[in-house]
């Protein structure tokens, strides 16, 4: 298993080595020591490998991820897994703002809390937060699922499109055009699968969640406005 | 952009290392603010005496001339382009008047029983080294690295700002109603020496504290009265506080152990602190006042 110590190796060397991996590589399990909050760790990966980061990560960790599994054994800074396309990012501590922002796919698991703007403009990613999320989360969320085992802050799902939000705890406030929606059997099933993927299917029941989504009342949803184009 | 750091010690054993720890934190924030830097350190105070941190031309003769004018002993501690004057507290008013009249080119940038304040244009590591930050001791300190966006790169525009005795503030962000706040505060006797928006925030808190508010109450009120983006770290003689605007526009991370409370714009600034591996690391919530007071 390759191990890279960031106390003696630069982040560019680390990311360069990860980017250079051939899809058929046997070096599929990497460990990164002494991350010390450095930015852009394991960003831009495109190989089916696992990268363990042994500590806190800075901004944009595992950004643009494709295929890879990135595990942060600490907290992650702003924009963890931003614009992820596929793969899995698992933060064992807390995540800062804009976790999973604009991401198209893959799974982001946060064992602790995520702060403001979690899942902002998400476009297909699945996010499971085992703690609570901060204000303005899922702002303009377009597609994908955001699952929160704890509470959500103010203005959840403001101007949301078609993403599905599942919150088990309190929601401090819903943003414009975001409403509570019925939990139908297909939502229970989808939620069950997501909880399973996050490893909490045994302890957390899908029935304990409420679903939130778009009321589809804002400008873009009105057919009368189609004439403007 | 700008970077902020702050360190508030709970454990007296760390007090000899305050400057060294703060210097390390400040240097890491160079990426966020390479054009100027500044810091305030709350060191030892002497009963019955006050310290004025001044900067300007001809600092060599100030202490002697002022001693003669006051007929009292004024000690001087030079730090590169700055000088810390120590004098009997009852001399402050006369000393300020004398400086204003005789040495108008000298600026008083900090005053109080314990505060010393330094700021200069240049890379944070160079600024820290020039003033000898690593050797300074004290109970708490705050620092700022500046990437100027809305006013020139000058020493005047560098943080921290101090608008009251033993008070100082560093700011990451920008305020949009600073002009009207300034018009409100000036008739109340809050004086400003720059056009900087952050100085207005400092002045606002000084006004609230003067009116009897605690540091936490003053910051609570600022949420209603200040309009704009901000992460503030504020120091008083015995207190240390942090506040972010309601949409948490600017980054912040904190760490707390039995030995200290530390603030950084990014976690990277905190990695050199002792015991950081086991610290409680958290992101301060928007619009929530975090305040600590020394017993």
**The CATH number of the domain where B240 resides is what?**
3.60.20.10
Residue A73 has pLDDT above 80, yes or no: yes
CA distance A173 to B23: 42
Work out the percent of chain B whose per-residue pLDDT is above 90.
94
For residues B33 and B74, state if they share a domain.
no
**Closest chain A residue to the Cα of B248, Cα to Cα:** A116
For residues B243 and B146, state if they share a domain.
yes
Q: A90-94, B145-149, B272-276: which has the minimum mean pLDDT?
A: B145-149
CA distance A208 to A149: 9
CA distance B70 to B63: 10
* pLDDT of amino acid A221: 86
Chain B nearest C-alpha distance from A120 (Å):
14
Q: Do B268 and A36 touch (CB under 8 A)?
A: yes
Task: Please report whether residue B138 resides in a domain.
Answer: yes
Q: In chain A, what residues touch B268 (CB-CB under 8 Å)?
A: 36-39, 58
Q: Do A75 and B247 touch (CB under 8 A)?
A: no
Chain A nearest C-alpha distance from B267 (Å):
6
Confidence tier at B1 by pLDDT (50, 70, 90): confident
For residues B81 and B143, state if they share a domain.
no
Interface of A with B in 60-99 (CB under 8 A): 75, 77-78, 93-94, 96-97
Q: Is B253 on the interface with A (CB under 8 A)?
A: yes
> Which of B113, B146, B169 is at the close of a domain?
B113
Question: How confident is the model over B78-83, as a mean pLDDT?
Answer: 96
Q: Which residue of B248, B262, B283, B287 is the best one to mutate when testing the A interface, meaning the one whose CB has the most A CBs within 10 A?
A: B283
Task: Please report whether residue B121 resides in a domain.
Answer: no
Q: In chain B, what residues touch A134 (CB-CB under 8 Å)?
A: 248, 285-286
Question: How confident is the model over A90-110, as a mean pLDDT?
Answer: 98
Per-residue HEC secondary structure of chain B comes to CCEEEEEEECCHHHHHHHHHHHHHHHHHHHHHCCCEEEEEEECCCCCCEEEEEEECCCHHHHHHHHHHHHCCCCEEEEECCEEEEEEEHHHHHHHHHHHHHHCCCCEEEEEECCEEEEEEECCHHHHHHHHCHHHCCCCEEEEEEECCCCCCCCCCCCCCECCCCCCEEEEEEEECCHHHHHHHHHHHCCCCCCCCHHHHHHHHHHHHHHCCCCHHHHHHHHHHHCCEEEEEEEECCCEEEEEECCCCCCCCEEEECCCEEEEECCHHHHCCCCCHHHCEEECCCCCCCEEEECC
Question: How confident is the model over B241-248, as a mean pLDDT?
Answer: 95
Chain A nearest C-alpha distance from B187 (Å):
38
For residues B60 and B33, state if they share a domain.
no
> Which of B85, B113, B141 is at the close of a domain?
B113
For residues B213 and B239, state if they share a domain.
yes
Domain that holds residue B181: 3-43+133-293
Q: In chain A, what residues touch B263 (CB-CB under 8 Å)?
A: none
User: B260-264 and B239-244: which strand pairing?
Assistant: unpaired
Of B271, B281, B285, the CB nearest to A75: B281
Of B247, B277, B283, the CB nearest to A96: B283
* pLDDT of amino acid B5: 98
- A160 and A177 in contact (C-beta within 8 Å)? yes
Task: Please report whether residue B122 resides in a domain.
Answer: no
Question: How confident is the model over A3-11, as a mean pLDDT?
Answer: 97
Question: How confident is the model over A94-100, as a mean pLDDT?
Answer: 98
Q: In chain B, what residues touch A112 (CB-CB under 8 Å)?
A: none
Angle at CA of residue B7, ends B3 and B12, nearest 5°: 165
Q: Is A136 on the interface with B (CB under 8 A)?
A: yes
pLDDT one-digit tens code per residue, A150-205: 999 999 999 999 999 999 999 999 999 999 999 999 999 999 999 999 999 999 99
Residue of B292, B178, B290 whose CA lies nearest to B243: B290
Q: In chain A, what residues touch B277 (CB-CB under 8 Å)?
A: 55
Q: Do A134 and B270 touch (CB under 8 A)?
A: no
Question: How confident is the model over B189-196, as a mean pLDDT?
Answer: 91
Interface of A with B in 34-53 (CB under 8 A): 36-39
> Which of B59, B80, B113 is at the close of a domain?
B113
Q: Do B248 and A116 touch (CB under 8 A)?
A: yes
Question: How confident is the model over A63-82, as a mean pLDDT?
Answer: 98
Angle at CA of residue A145, ends A140 and A147, nearest 5°: 110
Q: Do B267 and A115 touch (CB under 8 A)?
A: no
For residues B234 and B93, state if they share a domain.
no
Q: A164-173, A213-222, B213-222: which has the minimum mean pLDDT?
A: A213-222
Residue B150 has pLDDT above 70, yes or no: no
Q: Helices B215-225 and B197-210 sit at what angle, rounded to 10 degrees?
A: 130
* pLDDT of amino acid B152: 83
How many structural domains does chain B have? 2
Task: Please report whether residue B230 resides in a domain.
Answer: yes
pLDDT averaged over chain A? 97
Task: Please report whether residue B118 resides in a domain.
Answer: no
Residue A65 has pLDDT above 70, yes or no: yes
User: B280-282 and B253-256: which strand pairing?
Assistant: antiparallel
pLDDT one-digit tens code per residue, A103-147: 999 999 999 999 999 999 999 999 999 999 999 999 999 999 999
Q: Do B285 and A56 touch (CB under 8 A)?
A: no
Active site residues of B: 2
Domain ranges of chain A: 1-106, 113-229
Residue of B25, B43, B2 whose CA lies nearest to B235: B43
For residues B172 and B246, state if they share a domain.
yes
Q: Is B283 on the interface with A (CB under 8 A)?
A: yes
B4 preceded by a cis bond (ω within 30 of 0)? no
Q: Which CATH number is B88's domain given?
A: 3.30.70.240
For residues B287 and B265, state if they share a domain.
yes
pLDDT averaged over chain B? 95
For residues B238 and B139, state if they share a domain.
yes
Q: Do B266 and A97 touch (CB under 8 A)?
A: no
Task: Please report whether residue B127 resides in a domain.
Answer: no
Of A56, A115, A135, the CB nearest to B281: A56
* pLDDT of amino acid A227: 81
Q: Do B286 and A36 touch (CB under 8 A)?
A: no
Query: Which distant-in-sequence residues (6+ apart) come within 8 Å of A27 by Cβ?
Result: A1, A2, A21, A49
- B116 and B51 in contact (C-beta within 8 Å)? yes
Of A58, A115, A116, the CB nearest to B267: A58
For residues B64 and B143, state if they share a domain.
no
**Closest chain B residue to the Cα of A7, Cα to Cα:** B271
Task: Please report whether residue B67 resides in a domain.
Answer: yes
- A130 and A147 in contact (C-beta within 8 Å)? no
Burial zone of B277 (CB within 10 Å; 0-12 exposed, 13-18 middle, 19+ buried):
exposed
């Amino acid at each position: 298993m390759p191990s890279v110590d960031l106390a003696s190796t630069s982040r560019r060397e680390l990311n360069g080595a990860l980017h250079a991996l051939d899809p058929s590589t046997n070096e599929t399990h990497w460990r990164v020591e002494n991350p010390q909050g450095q930015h852009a760790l394991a960003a831009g990966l495109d190989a089916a490998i696992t990268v363990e980061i042994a500590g806190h990560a800075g901004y944009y960790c595992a950004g643009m991820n494709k295929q890879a599994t990135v595990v942060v054994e600490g907290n992650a800074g702003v924009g963890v897994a931003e614009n992820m396309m596929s793969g899995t990012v698992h933060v064992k501590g807390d995540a800062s703002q804009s976790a999973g922002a604009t991401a198209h796919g893959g799974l982001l698991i946060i064992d602790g809390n995520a702060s403001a703007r979690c899942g902002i403009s998400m476009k297909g990613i699945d996010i499971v937060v085992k703690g609570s999320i901060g204000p303005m989360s899922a702002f303009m969320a377009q597609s994908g699922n955001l699952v929160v085992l704890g509470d959500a802050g103010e203005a959840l799902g403001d101007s949301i499109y078609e993403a599905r939000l599942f919150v088990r705890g309190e929601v401090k406030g819903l943003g414009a055009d975001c409403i509570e929606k019925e939990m139908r059997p297909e939502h229970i099933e989808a939620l069950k699968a997501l909880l399973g993927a996050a490893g909490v299917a045994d302890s957390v029941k899908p029935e304990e969640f409420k679903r939130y989504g778009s009321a589809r009342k804002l400008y873009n949803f009105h057919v009368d406005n189609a004439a403007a184009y | 952009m700008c970077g902020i750091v702050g360190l508030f010690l709970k454990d007296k054993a760390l007090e000899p290392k305050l400057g060294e720890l703060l210097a390390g934190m400040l240097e890491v924030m160079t990426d966020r603010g390479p054009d100027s830097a500044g810091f305030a350190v709350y060191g030892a105070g002497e009963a019955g005496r006050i310290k004025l941190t001044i900067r300007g031309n001809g600092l060599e003769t100030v202490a002697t001339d002022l001693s003669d004018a006051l007929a009292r002993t004024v000690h001087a501690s030079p730090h590169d382009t700055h000088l810390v004057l120590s004098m009997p507290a009852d001399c402050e008013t006369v000393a300020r008047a004398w400086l204003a009249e005789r040495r108008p080119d000298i600026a008083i940038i900090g005053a109080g029983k314990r505060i010393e304040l330094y700021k200069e244009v240049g890379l944070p590591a160079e600024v820290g080294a020039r003033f000898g930050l690593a050797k300074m001791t004290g109970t708490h300190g705050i620092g700022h690295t500046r990437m100027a966006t809305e006013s020139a790169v000058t020493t005047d525009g560098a943080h921290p700002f101090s608008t009251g005795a033993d008070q100082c503030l560093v700011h990451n962000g920008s305020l949009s109603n600073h002009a009207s706040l300034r018009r409100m505060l000036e008739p109340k006797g809050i004086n400003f020496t720059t056009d900087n928006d952050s100085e207005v925030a400092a002045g606002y808190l000084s006004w609230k504290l003067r009116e009897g508010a605690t540091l936490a109450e003053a910051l609570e009120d600022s949420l209603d009265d200040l309009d704009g983006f901000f992460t503030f770290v504020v120091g008083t003689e015995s207190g240390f506080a942090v506040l972010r605007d309601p949409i948490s526009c600017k980054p912040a991370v904190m760490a707390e152990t039995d030995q200290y409370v530390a603030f950084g714009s990014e976690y990277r600034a905190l990695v050199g602190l002792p015991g950081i591996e086991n610290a409680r690391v958290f992101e301060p919530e928007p619009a929530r006042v975090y305040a600590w007071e020394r017993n």
